[in-house]
């Protein structure tokens, strides 16, 4: 049964972990990849992390070192975004934003070089070690790396819970479209609620 808040009756227990996606300086103000909503959702994401930092896993997106690196279309991608390669960025660009970085450790950090964190075995292994059954997924961007994370979690059979106010994108239109997609098209496997509602269920 599903509550009016969009979450199921089943509680979020110690087997529920929080995946916080790419909340990095790379996407904060002053970057060519600035995600305008990040500053607004950051305090809400911080509430989720602070509730159970030991059950939080941060991902970090690591760009190519220089233009033209990467497989296939990623080569052209980094030629277009040469300003966002490691050799062009300040050293702290890939770090988590400071209000969240203070939680790691005990929170874990997993690096990835593409949108999906599932292409590195580190995430699968860590979730299996911790006996995860449910995943709260927050962060950036709703329609890019969060999308890749959500679909991978669904494919692996996890209960997926999304905080509607704990996700951000650089595109309002796509953010709204994806929240509708998550709640309606994947409603059997994905639950959408607010941070406040999720925290009430996550004991």
CA distance 81 to 137: 27
The secondary element (H helix, E strand) that includes residue 174 is helix 172-180
| Residues in CB range of 1: below 8 A, 6 or more apart | 8, 9
8 A C-beta contact, residue 63 and residue 69? no
- What is the residue extent of each domain of the chain? 16-63+96-201
CA distance 201 to 157: 20
Per-residue confidence band for 82, with pLDDT thresholds at 50, 70 and 90: very high
Name residue, tokens 């009016």: 4
Average predicted confidence (pLDDT) for the chain: 93
Q: Look at residue 174 and tell me whether its pLDDT is greater than 80.
A: yes
* Average of per-residue pLDDT across 39-48: 96
Q: Look at residue 36 and tell me whether its pLDDT is greater than 50.
A: yes
Output the pLDDT for position 173: 87
Output the pLDDT for position 16: 97
In terms of Cα–Cα distance, which of 17, 32, 9, 38 is closest to 156? 17
Output the pLDDT for position 9: 75
Residues 104-151 pLDDT 10s: 999 999 999 999 999 999 999 999 999 999 999 999 998 999 999 999
Concatenating the DSSP letter of every residue in 83-94 gives GGSTTTS-GGGG
Pick the CATH number of 16-63+96-201 from 3.30.200.210, 3.40.50.720, 3.40.50.850, 1.20.120.1200: 3.40.50.850
8 A C-beta contact, residue 77 and residue 70? yes
Most confident residue range from 25-39, 102-116, 177-191: 102-116
Per-residue confidence band for 1, with pLDDT thresholds at 50, 70 and 90: very low
Contacts by 40-46 with C-beta closer than 8 Å and gap 24+?
Answer: 40/168, 41/138, 41/165, 41/166, 41/167, 41/168, 42/97, 42/99, 42/100, 43/99, 44/163, 44/165, 44/166, 44/195, 45/20, 45/100, 45/138, 45/139, 45/163, 45/166, 45/195, 46/99, 46/100
Name the residue with higher pLDDT: 125 or 172: 125
DSSP 28: S
């Amino acid at each position: 049964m599903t509550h009016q808040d969009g979450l199921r009756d089943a509680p979020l227990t110690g087997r529920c972990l929080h995946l916080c996606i790419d909340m990095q300086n790379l996407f904060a103000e002053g970057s060519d990849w600035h995600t305008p909503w990040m500053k607004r959702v950051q305090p809400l994401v911080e509430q989720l992390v602070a509730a159970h930092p030991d059950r939080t896993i941060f991902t970090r997106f690591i760009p190519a070192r220089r233009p033209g690196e990467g497989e296939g279309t990623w080569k052209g991608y980094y030629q277009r975004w040469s300003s966002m390669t490691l050799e062009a960025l300040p050293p702290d660009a890939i770090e988590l934003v400071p209000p969240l970085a203070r939680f790691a450790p005990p929170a874990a950090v997993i690096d990835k070089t593409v949108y999906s964190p599932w292409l590195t075995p580190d995430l699968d292994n860590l979730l299996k070690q911790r006996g995860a059954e449910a995943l709260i997924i927050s962060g950036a961007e709703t329609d890019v790396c969060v999308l890749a994370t959500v679909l991978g979690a669904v494919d692996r059979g996890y209960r997926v819970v999304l905080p509607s106010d704990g996700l951000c994108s650089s595109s309002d239109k796509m953010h709204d479209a994806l929240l509708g997609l998550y709640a309606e098209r994947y409603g059997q496997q994905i639950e959408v609620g607010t941070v406040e509602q999720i925290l009430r269920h996550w004991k």
